[in-house]
Amino acid sequence: MDEELRSLTGRLRHEAGARAAFAYERLVATGDLDELAGVLTAPQQPLWARELAAFRLGLAGDRRAFETLVLLLNHRDPQRCASAAYALARLGDPRTARAAAALATNELRVAYALHPVRLLVELRAPEAVPALITTLARRFRPHDPYRRVALACVEGLGALGDERARAVLNEALAHPPLAQAAAGALKRLPVQRAPR
Q: Where are the alpha helices (DSSP H) in 60-95?
A: 66-73, 78-91
CA 101/CA 91 separation, integer angstroms: 16
pLDDT surpassing 70 at residue 65: yes
The predicted pLDDT at position 196 comes to 64
pLDDT at 1: 54
Pick the closest to residue 53 from 8, 96, 10 (CA basis).
8
Single out the residue of 2, 24, 22 nearest to residue 13, CA to CA: 24
Q: Cα(52)–Cα(72) distance, rounded to whole angstroms? A: 11
pTM of the predicted protein model? 0.92
pLDDT for 185: 97
Average pLDDT of the residues in 2-21: 89
What SS3 state is found at 133? helix
Residues in the chain: 196
